[in-house]
Structure 1
């Protein structure tokens, strides 16, 4: 049907114009899947359940007390969601958040300088280890920050705020690039 809305990635066409010498890269990550899992299940058991139903490449991020986000680049197949819900029955609940949240990658040698302009979280690698995540504010927006590498992070934000966060990060990147020069 032609009158049905068509999916368009919210950050499609956005580009950060920073130079490679500046040390900051912003990237709109694929709008694959993002699942919110709630329940008294250990991360190792969640990892096992994910592997059994085809989500082995997905990353698990702590999102609060007995809460995790399961993020991946592959689009969600409804049958896979049903299989995961069945595998977690009695242990945890799973809710699809893929349509409601967007992931943004921030990387480069000045990535911590950039993020420190918007949040009070201590992002020092000795404190905020790779794989760690935190729900925090970046400016006025609620964001989950995950360290994905030495100088790389992934930010997850509500879809309706993604463009605003992108604009804020672009402005902070310009400032971070000046500070690191």
Structure 2
């Protein structure tokens, strides 16, 4: 009987560091967990339920009207997912998207310049503050972009587009460096 395919992270072993002048860094983030939550529950109540389920370190990101992504670095056990789904019953539905999406971190002094080359979102901190998130396009690829720090962002993309997005981001980083960022 042939061996079953083994799970391999899509962007395993990839990282990019730009020149010291730009400080741009791209990194494949751990393929921990990514949950899609839909319902009438408010973010504060969702955070309380996540803490009860042992997911207090997960971040909650708006993904649309009454929709959130819950992202974290640690893998989620089936028992934890079932406990969270039970706790949210009647308030929200939860779907595990961990297998279908990949997270990419972008940081550095010129991270906003890099992203401005591929998306129309205004990333000025006064408009898109830390903790903000939005569904958008980077080039032709649909992503969720979240600001995780002053000069750091996280992009969540469908797994099948992760390598294409990675190559596009590297190209944009090279272009940002040439622009004297």
Separation in structure 2 between the aligned mates of residue 27 and residue 15 of structure 1, nearest angstrom: 5
Q: Which runs of 5+ in 1 are unaligned?
A: none
Separation in structure 1 between the aligned mates of residue 54 and residue 32 of structure 2, nearest angstrom: 14
Shift of 1:177: 1.1
Partner of 2:178: 178
Partner of 1:65: 65
Aligned positions of 1:17-36 closer than 5 A:
17-36=17-36
Aligned positions of 1:1-181 closer than 5 A:
3-181=3-181
Shift of 1:19: 2.6
Separation in structure 2 between the aligned mates of residue 22 and residue 147 of structure 1, nearest angstrom: 18
Is the partner of 1:21 in helix, strand or coil? coil
Give runs of ≥4 in structure 1 deviating > 6 Å: none
TM-score (norm 2): 0.97
**Contact 1:110–1:180 (8 Å) recurs in 2:** no
Q: Which runs of 5+ in 2 are unaligned?
A: none
Is the partner of 2:61 in helix, strand or coil? strand
Is the partner of 2:30 in helix, strand or coil? coil
CA RMSD of the aligned region, Å?
Answer: 1.2
**Contact 2:61–2:131 (8 Å) recurs in 1:** yes
Alignment: residue pair count: 181
**Contact 2:34–2:71 (8 Å) recurs in 1:** yes
Separation in structure 2 between the aligned mates of residue 112 and residue 142 of structure 1, nearest angstrom: 18
Shift of 1:15: 2.7
**Contact 2:15–2:25 (8 Å) recurs in 1:** no
